Amino acid sequence: MKPIAAGDLNEQVTIQTATVTRGTANAEVVTWADVATVWAKVVERGGREPILADRPVMLVSYEVTIRAGVTVTHSDRLTWGDKTLAIDTVTPYRTQGTIVLRCMEVEI
């Protein structure tokens, strides 16, 4: 992997983490809280349109590169503009000082 140039991280993404609480009737309630807003390089990696619940759904995958120094796991998610991205994998590149996140856009 080649080093990240100064101008490559030109998008801002917000890392969010989930908190699960119990609501009425003891049902789980998931709320998302912002952890950090960081500069990132966001690259669309393609899409597909599977049939889910008898209707086509567009799934778009992204590769998001951020600088190391922030804690992020596959349980977290990203917001980028009006898009919400579920994190599938987290790959740190220690020699480059970066983290690569493979994500899938989710409909909220």
Do 35 and 7 touch, CB atoms closer than 8 A?
no
This prediction's pTM:
0.84
Expressed as residue numbers, the domain containing 57 is 11-106
User: Is position 37 within any domain?
Assistant: yes
| CATH number of the domain to which 72 belongs | 2.40.10.270
Structural domains counted in the chain:
1
How far is the C-alpha of 100 from the C-alpha of 43, rounded, in Å?
A: 11
User: Does residue 88 lie within any of the structural domains?
Assistant: yes
- Assess if residue 1 is contained within a domain: no
Those residues with Cβ within 8 angstroms of residue 32's Cβ, 6 or more apart along the chain or in another chain: 16, 17, 18, 19, 77
Residue 4 forms part of a structural domain: no
Tell me, what's the pLDDT at 24? 82
pLDDT averaged per 10 residues in sequence order, the chain, 108 residues: 82 96 87 96 80 67 96 97 97 94 86
> In the prediction, which pLDDT does 48 show?
63
For residue 51, what pLDDT is reported? 58
Rg, C-alpha atoms of the chain = 16
The verdict on residue 3 lying in a domain is: no
Is 59 a member of any domain?
yes
Q: For residue 51, give both structure tokens.
A: 């049939």
> Helices marked H in the chain — which ranges?
none
Q: From CA 45, how far away is CA 101, in angstroms rounded?
A: 12
Residue 6 included in any domain: no
Residue 57 forms part of a structural domain:
yes
